[in-house]
Amino acid sequence: MSTWGWRSHFYSLVPLGWALQAAGHEVRVASHPSMAATISAAGLAAVPLGEDVDFAEAFAGRIGAVAPLGGSAPAGAVEPAITADGGVVRFADAVLDDLVAFGRTWRPDLVLWEPFNLAAPVAAAALGVPGVLNLWGPDSSTTLRLDPDSVVGPLAARFGLSAADVPLDGVLTLDPVPPPMQVPMRRPGRPVRFVPYNGPAVVPDWLRRPADRPRVCVTAGTMMAGAGLHDRLDLGGVIRAVAGLDVEVVVVVEPRQHEGLGPLPARVRLVDGPLAVRLVLPTCAALVQQGGAGTTMTALAYGVPQLVLPQVSDQHFNGERLAATGAGASLTGERATAAAVRDLVGELAGDGPRRRAAALMRDRVHAMPAPAELVPTLAALARGGPI
């Protein structure tokens, strides 16, 4: 396996890594040195390669508001594209040579990667082994501009290959998204159940007891803080708006975001320890979040209605795909007032059509093949068999 950039990118690979290991296969997860602790904490073997790239610096000025599908771009929007001088290529460049060198020594039979990882498909092509793309949510690459010759070409040329020799989607794509949230595939694919993993976590005492009122989780994921963009959303204002309802509010955010929240009402519980959202969401009536793929899919797997307040990048795309299911809503720009947030969360937390839609999507997620059921397919592919 190869992962890049940020820990939540890696999280989507973890359940599949567990399944492969449990079936007796050897699994190595190759990434930048700073990812080693995150990988090993998940119970997988880390292979630190190449150099670290500062996520916030690499994407400074390159992560902006993205226009809704079919809509006009808002002020300050950044075109959704992967370019030759962009952060995605910088991350690939920092690890690619070492990744191929490690592959030539370890000789894997299969390479798996997650979206926007350019080094892994180039390495798979250079090593002459099949590659598999494991999606982490709705396939937002359908909204991106990418010229393979200018972006992938120089990376592939290091190993005597052309861009056409490198299938970025692999020979097989694993898709965890059920309809109608799913984006139609452009390549051979298999469904796979989304099994939530959000990093190491400890179950606190308060979470072992039933809440005395409906519980609403407010989170902002990991990427916004990691990219230095946590000031894009007035998180404190959102929390205070939700606390205006007769609910218990649980806030799960990065430690660096605590200072900017301001004074919070008494019924707000600000989590100050490692609490993954997969532990708290089963006890929640609703979720308010920024629209990251991992958070969105985790709530989908537990049947929790969601309010998405998208700020950048694929968050808008995920919010729109979620809204299409009826299991949640998305508020952007001037529409995301305190009153609108409060009213929508009250609706989501109630026993209405959005809760029924969320339960239906949960059942569709659970009906998909578990990662362990995909292991024979991947093993056959590694042995050179057909898809």
Give pLDDT tens digits for 94-122. 999 999 999 999 999 999 999 999 999 99
Do residues 50 and 98 lie in contact, with contact meaning Cβ atoms separated by under 8 Å?
yes
Tell me the torsion sign for CA atoms 261, 266, 272, 278. Answer: negative
pLDDT at residue 378 in the model: 97
Do residues 2 and 120 lie in contact, with contact meaning Cβ atoms separated by under 8 Å?
yes
Res. 68: pLDDT tops 50: no
Q: Within 10 A of 376 (CB to CB), how many other CB atoms are there? A: 10
pLDDT at residue 64 in the model: 52
Pick the range with the lowest mean pLDDT from 285-299, 324-338, 360-374. Answer: 324-338
Cβ-based burial of 209 (10 A; exposed 0-12, middle 13-18, buried ≥19): exposed
In a 3-state reduction of DSSP, which class is residue 199?
Answer: coil
Structure tokens at 24: 């007796």
Res. 67: pLDDT tops 50: no
Domain 205-366 -> CATH class: alpha beta
Pick the range with the lowest mean pLDDT from 71-75, 117-121, 247-251, 270-274. Answer: 71-75
pLDDT at residue 360 in the model: 98
d(CA 278, CA 302): 8
Quote the pTM value: 0.92
Comparing CA positions, the residue from 112, 118, 157 lying closest to residue 130 is 112
In a 3-state reduction of DSSP, which class is residue 217?
Answer: strand
Average pLDDT over residues 146-171: 97
E strand or H helix that includes residue 329: strand 328-330
Q: Could you write out the DSSP letters of every residue in 237-279?
A: HHHHHHTTSSSEEEEE--GGGSGGG----TTEEE--S---HHH
pLDDT tens column, 284-306: 999 999 999 999 999 999 999 99
In this prediction, residue 69 has a pLDDT band, given cuts at 50, 70 and 90, of very low
Res. 181: pLDDT tops 90: yes
Q: Within 10 A of 50 (CB to CB), how many other CB atoms are there? A: 21
Residue with tokens 């056409």: 164
pLDDT at residue 86 in the model: 86
Pick the range with the lowest mean pLDDT from 34-38, 120-124, 260-264. Answer: 260-264
In this prediction, residue 62 has a pLDDT band, given cuts at 50, 70 and 90, of low
Res. 66: pLDDT tops 50: no
Mean pLDDT, all residues of the chain:
90
Q: Within 10 A of 99 (CB to CB), how many other CB atoms are there? A: 25
HSE-up of residue 153 (Cα within 13 Å, Cβ side): 9
Res. 70: pLDDT tops 50: no
Do residues 130 and 172 lie in contact, with contact meaning Cβ atoms separated by under 8 Å?
yes
E strand or H helix that includes residue 102: helix 87-106
Comparing CA positions, the residue from 283, 313, 307, 312 lying closest to residue 295 is 307
pLDDT > 70 fraction of the chain, expressed in percent and rounded:
91
In a 3-state reduction of DSSP, which class is residue 124?
Answer: helix
Q: Within 10 A of 160 (CB to CB), how many other CB atoms are there? A: 8
Start-to-end Cα distance in the chain: 19
Average pLDDT over residues 55-68: 59
Higher pLDDT, 262 or 260: 262
Name the residue ranges covered by the structural domains of the chain: 7-194+368-382, 205-366
Do residues 121 and 302 lie in contact, with contact meaning Cβ atoms separated by under 8 Å?
no
pLDDT at residue 142 in the model: 83
Maximum average pLDDT range among 3-12, 101-110, 174-183, 328-337: 101-110
pLDDT at residue 363 in the model: 98
E strand or H helix that includes residue 81: strand 81-82
Comparing CA positions, the residue from 371, 374, 340 lying closest to residue 237 is 340
Q: Could you write out the DSSP letters of every residue in 88-99?
A: HHHHHHHHHHHH
DSSP code, position 2: B
d(CA 146, CA 178): 26
Res. 348: pLDDT tops 90: yes
Residues 6+ apart with CB under 8 A from 80: 66, 140, 143, 144, 145, 313
Structure tokens at 382: 């590694």
Res. 33: pLDDT tops 90: yes
CATH number of 7-194+368-382: 3.40.50.2000
